[in-house]
Structure 1
Amino acid sequence: MRAAYASSLQPDAPLSALTVGELPFDPPEGWVPVEVRASSLNQHDVWSLRGVGLPADRLPMILGCDAAGVTPAGDPVLVYPVIQDKADPRGYSLFSERFPGTFAERVAAPRENLLPIPDGVSFAEAACLPTAWLTAYHMLVTRGRAGDAGAVLVQGAGGGVATAAVAIGVALGKRVYATSRDQAKRERVTELGAIAVEPGARLPERVDVVIESVGEPTFDHSMKCAAPGARIVVCGATAGHLARVDLRRVFAMQLEILGSSMGTPAELTELLDMCATGKIHPVIDSTYEFEAIPEAFARLTAPDLFGKVVITH
């Protein structure tokens, strides 16, 4: 079958490790084959090409964590990307880490990983949700307890998780502040219903939840913007992982600094329901045919990216 896969590991030139070609389809016993209709890219895919979390002895590895498609029975499904995996120290892995990923004509998944897609939700919209949007939802609702919050700060809007956090926060009825160095991106988050601010700018109020995926350059600002008892929820450190933390502010303001990764099938189902009822609309930067997947990867690394890059099959 046609697939996009890591044929080598290239830390300094990751896109040169991407190959589109034929690979066998050999699903594990008991797993359900899904004909992929749409998938979406994540930074995880670029890190895989660099060799982060993907050793050479697993090559070639089909890339991709996110997919929506059709089962042999004709049912439209969304693939939940987390696989229970005793061989992994975390107790789980994602598609494309130990098991073939979603950038192919077909993907196989455990039956419990297949969630029905509601009427009114397209394959492309559904394919945006499993990694970035699920991560953002888990950060806001579960880890950040946004139900108890009035105001939220999202650092570095433009990428998949941060843009999703803006849209979800607005849908939850929160006052959402969003930072970006790029004026065009600040205009885009304003269109989503957020209050755009420049990085490091003083906010008109302290916030109850901070969504942090940038890391070192923004973490001090996140701390200073946090209200007493606020939750600073961290899912990544794209611009540096050695942030300085003023512990005096942590204990004086009784702040919580919380790590977060992915989410649950129930949370993904809630996201699908929010799509079906029109509460959220996944932000799609661009859409590519499967044969143009190298161009899609190049778009993922573009500085003006805003939202998800989708592949249609």
Structure 2
Amino acid sequence: MFAVYAESFSPEDPLSGLTIGERPEPDVPDGWTTVTVKAASLNHHDLWTLRGVGIKQEQLPMIIGCDAAGIDEDGHEVVVHSVISDPSFSGADETMDPKRSLLSERYQGTFADKVTVPRKNVVPKPESLSFEEAACLPTAWLTAYRMLFVQGGCRPGDTVLVQGAGGGVSTALIALARAGGLKVFATSRDETKRQRALDLGAHAVFETGERLPVTVDAVMETVGQATWLHSIRSLRVGGTLVTTGATSGNMPPDMGLTRIFFLQLRVIGSTMGTRGELASLVTMMDATGVRPVIDRVLPMEDARQGLEAMAQGDIFGKIVFTR
């Protein structure tokens, strides 16, 4: 079958290990199902895989891609949940399983004609969502949903700051926060991205690091080192910072620890989301009419072009591949 896969790793030149060609069809263990992929979306995780992060040499070749929407063996249109818990895990929240993995880490990914997943890892796709839109949800949009409404505990009327408008998670955060009745602030170094954040639903936008007119109830932090201290300084007493990424680095020169303990701030990590949360997100999208921001749609044969754009940061929203 057709597939886009990592054949080698290179931290400095990740695309050098990318191969587009043929791979064997996946095995189907008991309790799993095969999904014929109609659309799959790109994530930074895919670039990290090509850099050799979270995967070992002996696992190569590995089909990359976490997200997909398609048709299962019974002919149902479905969205694929890419968090796969260990068979020994008995908890309700698979993101808390220390042995969990994502598609393209231990199991072959979604940039292919077909992908296999446990039957419990598929969620019905409503007719109102296209395959391209649905394929954007399982990683970036699910991450945003959990950050806002589960880990962040945001409620209608709260004020939230989204750092670094432009990426898949941050655009999802803006759209979902607005749909959920929150007052939304967003930051970006880029004037065009600030304007697009306003178009997406942000109530106000600011340059990165600019002082806000008020302190906020919650900050959604995906940037890390470059914005961390600004995030801490932007919170009200008792406010919440939810972090899910560190694209600019892990070590801010000033962590703001004094402010964290003096103002009794909460700093909470968040990773992906559960199958149940994905189902709730899909229902929310269906009910509200909110749709993912799609930067571009490309045939999967042009996956290299999409990965190059992501590596250069030349995107606003999600890149989607179709079959």
Fold shared by both chains (TM-score > 0.5): yes
Matched, 1:76 2:77: yes
User: Structure 2 counterpart of 1:15, which letter?
Assistant: L
Give runs of aligned pairs for residues 79-94 of structure 1, distance below 5 A: 79-85=80-86, 90-94=98-102
**Partner of 1:39 in structure 2?**
40
- Please state how far the C-alpha of 1:149 moved relative to its aligned partner: 5.7
* 1:149–1:209 CA contact under 8 A, matched in 2: no
Equivalent residues of 1:125, 1:282 under 8 A apart: yes
1:270 to 271, 280, 285: 280
- Does 1:144 pair with 2:142? no
How far apart are 1:276 and its partner, in Å? 1.4
In the other structure, the counterpart of 2:162 is 154
**What does 1:174-253 align with in structure 2 at a 5 Å threshold?**
174-194=182-202, 195-243=204-252, 244-253=254-263
Q: CA deviation at 1:71?
A: 1.2
Alpha-carbon distance between aligned partners in 1 of 2:231 and 2:5, rounded to the nearest angstrom: 37
Aligned mate of 2:315, from 305, 308, 313: 305
1:164-175 pair list within 5 angstroms: 164-175=172-183
2:113 matched to 1:105?
Answer: yes
Q: Of 294, 303, 306, which aligns to 1:284?
A: 294
Judge conservation of contact 2:156–2:180 (CA < 8 Å) in 1. Answer: no
Paired letter, 2:266: E
Q: What amino acid is aligned across from residue 232 of structure 1 in structure 2?
A: L
1:256 alignment partner in structure 2: 266
SS in 2 for 1:100: coil
Distance 1:106 1:11 in 2: 28
Distance 2:123 2:267 in 1: 32
Residue 129, structure 1, aligned to residue 130, structure 2: no
Report SS of the residue matched to 1:147.
Answer: coil
Is the partner of 1:301 in helix, strand or coil? Answer: helix
Residue matched to 1:18: 18
| Offset at residue 86 of structure 1 (A) | 6.0
Tell me the secondary structure at the aligned position of residue 212 of structure 2. Answer: coil
CA contact (8 A) 2:161 2:185 kept: yes
RMSD of Structure 2 on Structure 1 (CA): 1.4
Name the TM-score, length of structure 1 as normaliser.
Answer: 0.97
Q: Give 1:284 shift.
A: 0.3
Alpha-carbon separation, structure 2, partners of 1:9 and 1:85: 26
- Inter-partner Cα distance in structure 1 for 2:249 and 2:150: 25
Question: 2:264 corresponds to which letter in structure 1?
Answer: Q
Deviation at 1:248, TM superposition (A): 1.7
Question: Secondary structure at the residue paired with 2:272?
Answer: coil
Equivalent AA in structure 2 for residue 19 of structure 1: T
**Structure 1: where are the runs of 5+ without partners?**
none
Please tell me whether the aligned partners of residues 179 and 288 of structure 2 are also in contact (alpha carbons under 8 angstroms).
Answer: no
AA partner of residue 172 (structure 1): G
Does the 8 Å contact 1:171/1:279 carry over to 2?
A: no
In the comparison of the two structures, how many residue pairs are matched?
313
Cα shift readout 1:1-21 (whole Å, capped 9, x = no counterpart): 010000000110001111011
Please state if 1:3 is matched with 2:11. Answer: no
Using the TM superposition, give the Cα deviation of residue 87 of structure 1 relative to its aligned residue in structure 2, in angstroms. 9.3
Distance 1:59 1:132 in 2: 25
Residue pair 1:152, 1:208 contacting (<8 A) in 2 also = yes
Corresponding position of 1:49: 50
Which residue identity does 1:110 align to in structure 2? Answer: P
- Residue 96 of structure 1 and its aligned partner are, at CA, apart by 0.2
> Does residue 65 of the first structure (1) align with residue 66 of the second (2)?
yes
Write the letter of the residue equivalent to 2:290: I
Mean CA deviation greater in 36-45 or 235-244:
235-244
Match of 1:35, SS? strand
> How much has 1:105 moved relative to structure 2?
0.2
One-letter code aligned to 2:74: A
- Contact kept, 8 Å, 1:86 with 1:92, in 2: the verdict is no
> Which consecutive unaligned segments of at least 5 residues does structure 2 have?
90-96
Match for 1:118: what amino acid? Answer: P
TM-score, scaled relative to structure 2? 0.94
- Provide Cα deviations, 1:41-88, integer angstroms capped at 9, x if missing partner: 000000000000011110000000000000122100110010012699
Asked whether the 8 Å contact 1:62–1:102 carries over to 2, the reply is yes
Distance across 2 between alignment mates of 1:55 and 1:16: 17
Distance 1:149 1:242, change over 3 A: farther
Structure 1 CA distance, aligned partners of 2:43 and 2:232? 27
Q: Percent of aligned positions with the same letter in both sequences?
A: 48
Distance 2:21 2:184 in 1: 43
